[in-house]
Structure 1
Amino acid sequence: MDELLHELRRAFELLDPPPRALFEAARAAFAFRDPDASLAELTREATPAGAGLRGSSRLLTFTGDDVTVELQVSPAGGVRVLTGRLSPARPATLCVRHSRGETRTHVDESGHFVAGDVPPGQVMLHFTLPDATTVVTSWSRL
Structure 2
Amino acid sequence: MNDDDFLTELRAAADEFDPVPAGVLRDASAALALRALDAELAELVESEALVRGDGPVLLAFESERVTVNLEISGDVVRGLVIGAAGEAVVETPRSRRAVPISDGWFTVTEVPSGMVRIRVTAVDGTPVVTQWTRAD
- Per the TM superposition, whether the score is higher than 0.5 is yes
Rounded to whole Å, the distance in 1 between the matches of 2:121 and 2:64 is: 15
TM-score (norm 1): 0.69
Residue 31 (structure 1) aligned to one of 26, 30, 33: 33
CA shift in 2, pair 1:121/1:48, >3 Å: closer
Rounded to whole Å, the distance in 2 between the matches of 1:45 and 1:25 is: 27
Cross-structure match for 1:81: 76
Cross-structure match for 1:91: 85
TM-score (norm 2): 0.71
Unaligned runs of 5+ in 1: none
Q: What is the correspondence of 1:1-142 to structure 2 with a 5 Å cutoff?
A: 10=18, 20=23, 24-47=26-49, 52=53, 55-75=54-74, 80-88=75-83, 90-109=84-103, 111-129=104-122, 131-142=124-135
**1:35 counterpart letter in structure 2:** L
Unaligned runs of 5+ in 2: 1-9
Rounded to whole Å, the distance in 2 between the matches of 1:37 and 1:48 is: 30
Structure 1 residue ranges (4+ consecutive) displaced by more than 2 angstroms after TM superposition? 22-30, 128-133
Say how many residue pairs are matched.
124
Q: Whose Rg is larger? A: 2
Identity %: 32
CA shift in 2, pair 1:31/1:82, >3 Å: same
